[in-house]
Amino acid sequence: MTYSSLSAYKQQIIKDFNSRTNYENEFHKRAATRLVELAKLQSGQYVLDIATGTGLAAIAAAMVVGSTGRVLGTDFALGMLQQAQQKVEVLGLTNTKFEEADADEQELQDTQFDAILCSSAIAYLIDIPASLRQWHNALKPGGIVAFSCLAETSPTASVLFRTVVQRYGMTIPNPNQLLGTPERCCQLLEKIGFEQIEITTEQFGFYLQDAESVWTGNARSAFGLQDVKWSKEQLERCKQEYFTEINKASTEAGYWNDVTMFFVTARKSSDPLSS
């Protein structure tokens, strides 16, 4: 897989994630740890962590499955995989390996894994239903899929960003639309054939301390302004309007950035004849 052969969207994602210096922030650490907790992994299991990034969920899973288990983490952002590999080496983990792979294109064998994880990344996939169907096939009977996704109304600072830039003729799709409610998550998983669906809703919100960094993060993301052909003056006007809207919605404590996250777990039927 070469960078030049990727779609513009995929190139934006790689550029976004490989340029992040703060990916291992409290949000991503908490989200990955919580996902592994809710997946209820067992010693000796074989786990796949899709879009592993810097390996936060993969390493947490490796601690649970132990020396008799195995964890494979895949991602197509090499900069992040290098960070993940360095952490594994420092920790001395021998049950974890990482491979470069595009989550939308990697081929998985049927009934291969006991668990498939995807922490805070499913919204970036091009065809989420197709990926979930593939994950269903790749699970052993009784295997579990566990992923986290944001409510369609979160983060509110990003929703506001999309609202403001739309006034300037730029429509940015909501990446959290398809799985943006518990009902939609359930409907999609049931349609694919998953059972025992459980959704845990948790709040990861915080008061904004730096609106500038939030603007920059949204503008540079794959769901941002990377392709926009605006003049510097237009971009600055839009940016200042965003800050104005943030200030208008702020209280004495600041702007509350609601980050409602769904942790979703579901199982493949333990009866191979039913799948």
17 pLDDT above the threshold of 70: no
pLDDT value of position 1: 42
- What does the pLDDT look like over 189-198, one tens digit per residue? 999 999 999 9
Residues 112 and 114: their CA atoms lie apart, in Å, by: 7
Residues 238 and 274: their CA atoms lie apart, in Å, by: 53
Question: In the chain, pLDDT over 90 holds for what percent of residues?
Answer: 78
pLDDT value of position 268: 98
- What does the pLDDT look like over 33-50, one tens digit per residue? 999 999 999 999 999 999
31 pLDDT above the threshold of 70: yes
pLDDT value of position 86: 95
pTM attached to this predicted model: 0.89
- What does the pLDDT look like over 132-186, one tens digit per residue? 999 999 999 999 999 999 999 999 999 999 999 999 999 998 999 999 999 999 9
- Domains (range + CATH), the chain: 3-151+176-206+260-274 (3.40.50.150)
pLDDT value of position 85: 96
Q: Which residue has the higher pLDDT, 10 or 85?
A: 85
pLDDT value of position 223: 82
65 pLDDT above the threshold of 60: yes
pLDDT value of position 4: 41
- What does the pLDDT look like over 201-244, one tens digit per residue? 999 999 998 899 999 989 988 788 877 889 999 999 999 999 99
90 pLDDT above the threshold of 60: yes
| Confidence at 114, pLDDT banded by 50, 70, 90 | very high
